[in-house]
């Protein structure tokens, strides 16, 4: 009888030890997952901060550009339309050489590699084919979900 009780106690101790090892292994896995998630989130946060800073810089550059345009070259759209289409003496409308200002919205979703690439590509295209004749507005739907159409 005493032997049976000792065996039972020993089995319970072994079961408890196995359970403790299993729980410790689960804790180790959870700690590793947490560390991995934390590092990924910190990278995402740093990336988002860099993106926001880049957007702010672009906005400041755009504001400076607009200010420079307002020193003589910027004209309201209504007046611009009157200036670009003038009446010819024969009552035919003639287009002048004044370039059209293209309003280009670019919708992105956060600072992902694809979003960054899209911004870089559209800027390069605009710089090459529409120098000084475009206004690029980058709308981050992650930061401004209300802007989604």
Q: How far is the C-alpha of 98 from the C-alpha of 143, rounded, in Å? A: 36
Is residue 74 very low, low, confident or very high in pLDDT (cuts 50, 70, 90)?
Answer: very low
Q: How far is the C-alpha of 80 from the C-alpha of 147, rounded, in Å? A: 28
Residue 147: what pLDDT? 83
The three-class DSSP label of residue 132 is: coil
Closest CA to 107 of 127, 122, 128: 122
Mean pLDDT to the nearest integer, 95-108: 79
Give 82-96 pLDDT, tens digit per residue. 434 343 444 444 455
Give 17-41 pLDDT, tens digit per residue. 999 998 988 888 888 888 888 888 9
Residue 103: what pLDDT? 92
Is residue 9 very low, low, confident or very high in pLDDT (cuts 50, 70, 90)?
Answer: very high
Neighbours of 56 (CB within 10 A): 10
Neighbours of 98 (CB within 10 A): 13
Whether pTM exceeds 0.75 = no
**Is 117 within 8 Å of 85 (Cβ atoms)?**
no
The three-class DSSP label of residue 71 is: coil
Give 50-70 pLDDT, tens digit per residue. 888 888 888 887 777 666 655
Mean pLDDT to the nearest integer, 118-146: 89
Domains of the chain by residue range:
1-74, 97-149
- Percent of the chain whose predicted confidence (pLDDT) is above 90: 23
Domain 97-149: what homologous superfamily? Glutaredoxin (3.40.30.10)
């Amino acid at each position: 009888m005493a032997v049976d009780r000792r065996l039972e106690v020993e089995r319970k101790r072994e079961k408890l030890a196995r359970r403790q090892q299993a729980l410790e292994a689960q804790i180790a896995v959870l700690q590793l997952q947490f560390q991995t998630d934390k590092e990924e989130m910190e990278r995402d946060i740093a990336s988002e901060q860099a993106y926001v800073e880049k957007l702010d810089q672009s906005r400041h550059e755009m504001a400076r550009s607009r200010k420079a345009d307002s020193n003589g070259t910027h004209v309201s759209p209504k007046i611009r339309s009157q200036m670009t289409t003038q009446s010819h003496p024969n009552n035919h409308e003639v287009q002048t050489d004044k370039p059209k200002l293209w309003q280009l919205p670019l919708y992105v979703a956060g600072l992902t590699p694809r979003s960054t690439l899209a911004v870089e590509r559209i800027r390069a295209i605009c710089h090459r084919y529409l120098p000084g004749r475009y206004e690029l507005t980058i709308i981050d739907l992650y930061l401004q979900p209300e802007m989604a159409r």
